[in-house]
């Protein structure tokens, strides 16, 4: 299974940024553990702080990958472009969040992309990503 993890803006600062919300681990450390835990999956990782680059990546992989896990960061709440890109591709996307966005500011309660995703996992810390991986594995042909 070819699975791409896409992280949006500011997620390159994990481990340094607002540690009480997002934890102490860098995404690179977590990603290396994830690859070890799921050796059968062909993982790829992409991060950008730029909305259009995230859209380009969705277009690039969205007709040939099996699965996408996307944490669009703040663009979750604002980007019609990312929502439309997810609607326009064939690869199923799971939206993930590290924090429980529903327990935070009201502007984080809305996701423009959620309705175009197969599901949403939020609030489980970095485990949110591995729960999404497990879902894709459980529905694999």
Which residues of this protein are in contact with ligand DQA, per CB under 6 A?
Answer: 10, 71, 73-74, 76, 97-99, 101, 108
| Strands of 93-97's sheet in order across | 42-47, 2-7, 67-71, 93-97, 119-122
State yes or no: is 129 an active-site residue.
Answer: no
Cα–Cα distance measured from residue 93 to residue 28, given in angstroms and rounded to the nearest whole number: 21
CB of 30 to ligand DQA, least distance (A): 12
CB of 134 to ligand DQA, least distance (A): 18
Please identify which of the residues 30, 46, 97, 129 carries the catalytic annotation: 97
Identity of the residue, 108 or 135, whose beta carbon is nearer to ligand DQA in the bound complex: 108
Identity of the residue, 47 or 76, whose beta carbon is nearer to ligand DQA in the bound complex: 76
Identity of the residue, 64 or 115, whose beta carbon is nearer to ligand DQA in the bound complex: 115
Q: Where are the alpha helices (DSSP H) in 9-140?
A: 19-22, 27-37, 51-61, 80-88, 127-138
CB of 9 to ligand DQA, least distance (A): 6
Please identify which of the residues 22, 31, 65, 75 carries the catalytic annotation: 22
- CA 102, 108, 109, 111 torsion: positive or negative? negative
CB of 135 to ligand DQA, least distance (A): 17
Identity of the residue, 2 or 108, whose beta carbon is nearer to ligand DQA in the bound complex: 108
Cα–Cα distance measured from residue 75 to residue 77, given in angstroms and rounded to the nearest whole number: 5
State yes or no: is 22 an active-site residue.
Answer: yes
Q: Which residue has the tokens 């929502």?
A: 83
Count Cα neighbours of 26 within 13 Å in the Cβ-side half-sphere.
6
Catalytic residues: 22, 97
């Amino acid at each position: 299974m070819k699975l791409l993890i896409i992280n949006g803006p500011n997620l390159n600062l994990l481990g340094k940024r607002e540690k009480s919300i997002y934890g102490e681990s860098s995404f690179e450390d977590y990603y290396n553990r994830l690859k070890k835990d799921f050796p059968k999956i062909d993982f790829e990782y992409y991060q950008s702080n730029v909305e259009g680059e995230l859209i380009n990546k969705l277009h690039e992989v969205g007709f040939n990958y099996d699965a996408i896990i996307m944490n669009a960061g703040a663009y979750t709440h604002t980007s019609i472009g990312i929502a439309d890109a997810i609607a326009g591709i064939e690869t199923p996307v799971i939206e993930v969040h590290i924090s429980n966005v529903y327990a935070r500011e009201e502007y984080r309660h809305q996701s423009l992309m959620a309705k175009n995703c197969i599901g949403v996992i939020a609030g489980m810390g970095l485990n949110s990503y591995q729960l999404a991986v497990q879902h894709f594995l459980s529905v694999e042909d």
